[in-house]
Amino acid sequence: MRKEVILTLNNLYRDNMNIYGYHFGKGEKSACIVGACRGNEVQQLYICSQLIRRLKELEERGAIVKGNEIMVIPTVNTASLNVGKRFWPADDSDINRMYPGDGTGETTKRIAAGIFDAVKEYSYGIQFTSFYIPGNFVPHVRMMDTGFQNPSLANLFGLPYVVVRDAKPFDKATLNYNWQLKNTNAFSVYTSGTDQIDEPSAKMAVASVLRFLTRMGMVRYTSHSGYIATVLHESDLASVRTDCAGIYRPYFKPGQEVSRGDVLADILDPCEGEVMSQILAPTEGIVFFAHSQPLVMEGAIIFKIIRRLHE
């Protein structure tokens, strides 16, 4: 293993912020794995730490296939992690909305430019990221429809689902999108948990990356075959929204089946405790995403449900 400082951000009042890349093997730039871009992505940081540990063990056993270099960047935002703030502490900007970056621009644009310069030449890019709404997913691989995506490669992770979504204007400033424009096969991997560690899904995520690297001929690693993934498009998911604000009491978790009309959650009056609203399932299917915070606003998405194919 070779640990390298890939970017240093000078600081007048505290130690400089160093962003580290951990290199395994030597040769072509084969795969790059990037973890926490945001300060609450503790699960994503943890997954990368476990990948570094496993890849170090594999390298010591000679299990990195000759001619391949793999790099892991566990976090690009230690400043926000240190203070427990999701976005950049000084101005609330999101590093994952700043790519490909600007080396002479604002702080987060300079960080994005330095990171992108280090990762843009890898053949495969894997990012562990989180959703813009707090909640938990069924573990899956997500790809943007840029015209360069390859869902068949995403199947090689062996996770239950692959989701292809249309790129929106703000997506064009993400790492995933810009990776694809540079001919990197880019994948975003979502697990259960963000600001808390979910051990079972973290183990599943580590295994999925090692499975992908094995199937692409970069490492020699024995694992079970995983799932035969179901490929979904964003339009296959039914979004369920609240009709009022209050305390959120859910009854279903990601992966559970629901029938049309099932009570998915109660919304309680925050002062009097009475049930103000019951949120019903609009369709039969499987819960793909569930909101996780105890308070919700009116109109917030609290569930995403995979519709049954016959609906």
**Which pTM was predicted?**
0.91
> Above 60 in pLDDT, residue 36?
yes
Residue 12: which pLDDT band, with cuts at 50, 70 and 90?
A: low
CA distance 232 to 142: 9
d(CA 117, CA 134): 30
% residues pLDDT > 70 (the chain): 98
Domains of the chain and any CATH numbers: 2-228 (3.40.630.10), 236-307 (2.40.50.100)
How far does Cα 192 stand from its chain's mean position?
10
The two tokens of residue 138 are 């069924």
Confidence grade of residue 262 (pLDDT, cut at 50, 70, 90): very high
Instruction: Give buried/exposed letters for 157-175 (b at 16+ CB in 10 A, else e).
Output: bbbbbbbbbebeeebebbb
Which pLDDT value is given to residue 166?
Answer: 85
Q: How many Å is the Cα radius of gyration of the chain?
A: 20
Pair of tokens at residue 163:
């989701």
- The predicted model gives 107-125 an average pLDDT of 96
pLDDT for the residue 311? 45
- Lowest pLDDT segment from 29-33, 169-173, 260-264, 269-273: 169-173
Report yes or no: 138 and 206 within 8 Å, Cβ to Cβ: no
Average pLDDT over residues 41-49: 97
Contact between 210 and 156 under an 8 Å Cβ cutoff? The reply is no
Instruction: Please tell me the total number of residues recorded for the chain in this structure.
Output: 311
User: Which of these ranges, 98-102, 165-169, 278-282, has the smallest mean pLDDT?
Assistant: 165-169
Confirm if 89 and 80 have CB atoms less than 8 A apart. yes
Check pLDDT > 80 for residue 147.
Answer: no
pLDDT at 133 over 90: no
Calculate the average pLDDT of the chain. 93
**Does residue 62 have a pLDDT over 50?**
yes
- Report the 10 Å Cβ neighbour count for 41: 25
pLDDT, position 309: 58
Three-state SS at 48: helix
User: What local confidence, expressed as pLDDT, does residue 310 receive?
Assistant: 46
**Are residues 58 and 25 in contact, defined by beta-carbon separation less than 8 angstroms?**
no
Phi/psi of residue 105, nearest 5 degrees: -95, -155
Long-range contacts of 87-93 (CB under 8 A, 24+ apart): 87/38, 87/39, 89/39
- Give the mean pLDDT of 41-55: 97
Band (13; pLDDT cuts 50, 70, 90): low
Q: For residue range 156-184, what is the model confidence (pLDDT) as tens digits?
A: 999 999 999 888 888 889 999 999 999 99
Question: Regarding predicted confidence, which is higher, 45 or 12?
Answer: 45
Helix (H, G, I), strand (E, B) or coil at 108: helix
DSSP single-letter state for residue 172: G
Q: Yes or no: say if 145 and 167 are a contact pair by the CB < 8 Å rule.
A: yes
Please give the full DSSP string across 124-143, using - where no structure is assigned.
Answer: EEEEE---SSSEEE-SEEEE
Burial of 64: CB neighbours in 10 Å, binned 0-12, 13-18, 19+? buried
Give the DSSP H or E segment for 214. Answer: helix 199-215
User: pLDDT (tens digit, 9 = 90+) per residue, 189-232?
Assistant: 999 889 899 999 999 999 999 999 999 999 998 878 889 889 99
Instruction: Give yes or no for a contact between 28 and 123, defined as CB atoms under 8 angstroms apart.
Output: yes
Closest CA to 286 of 248, 230, 243: 230
Label the pairing between strands 185-190 and 124-128. Answer: parallel
What pLDDT score was predicted for residue 15? Answer: 82
